[in-house]
């Protein structure tokens, strides 16, 4: 654990990248050098028992500054290694064969009398 001299150089901030909601509990856990799960459990218990923890969480969410965001490590390309092979494209699924039902429906359309057939859209119907 950090001594009080070390804690005097720390500032209380929220850590959204490490948090579940806004990073308030993660920031408190980092400041006091405890497990964030323990801080979250205390806040949940306090909210269930009195509701004050929820108000405190909201106030800290607004009042605390966002802590430093850790820099992402740059991706280093290994030029000595050959590139990874590109997988072949996935072929499209096969077209299912026509079924008996489809054939039966096609036959009934072909057998329709001419007077019941639907006229083309571009002709005038009287």
Residue 31: CB partners within 8 Å, gap ≥ 6? 7, 10, 11, 12, 13
Residue 114 has pLDDT above 60, yes or no: no
Residue 74 has pLDDT above 70, yes or no: no
Find the farthest-apart pair of alpha carbons in the chain and give their distance in angstroms, rounded.
Answer: 98
- Ranking 15-29, 48-62, 94-108 by mean pLDDT, the lowest is 94-108
pLDDT for the residue 26: 86
Alpha-carbon distance 126 to 123, whole Å?
10
pLDDT for the residue 54: 84
User: Whole-prediction pTM value?
Assistant: 0.47
């Amino acid at each position: 654990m950090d001594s009080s001299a070390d804690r005097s150089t720390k500032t209380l901030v929220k850590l959204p990248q490490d948090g579940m909601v806004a990073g308030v509990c993660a920031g408190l856990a980092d400041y006091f050098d405890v497990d964030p799960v323990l801080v979250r459990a205390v806040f949940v218990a306090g909210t269930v028992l009195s509701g004050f923890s929820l108000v405190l969480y909201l106030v800290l969410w607004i009042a605390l500054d966002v802590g430093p965001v850790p820099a992402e490590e740059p991706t280093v390309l290994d030029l000595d290694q050959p590139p990874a092979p590109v997988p072949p494209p996935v072929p499209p699924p096969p077209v299912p064969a026509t079924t008996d039902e489809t054939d039966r429906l096609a036959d009934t359309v072909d057998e329709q009398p001419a007077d019941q057939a639907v006229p083309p859209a571009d002709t005038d119907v009287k």
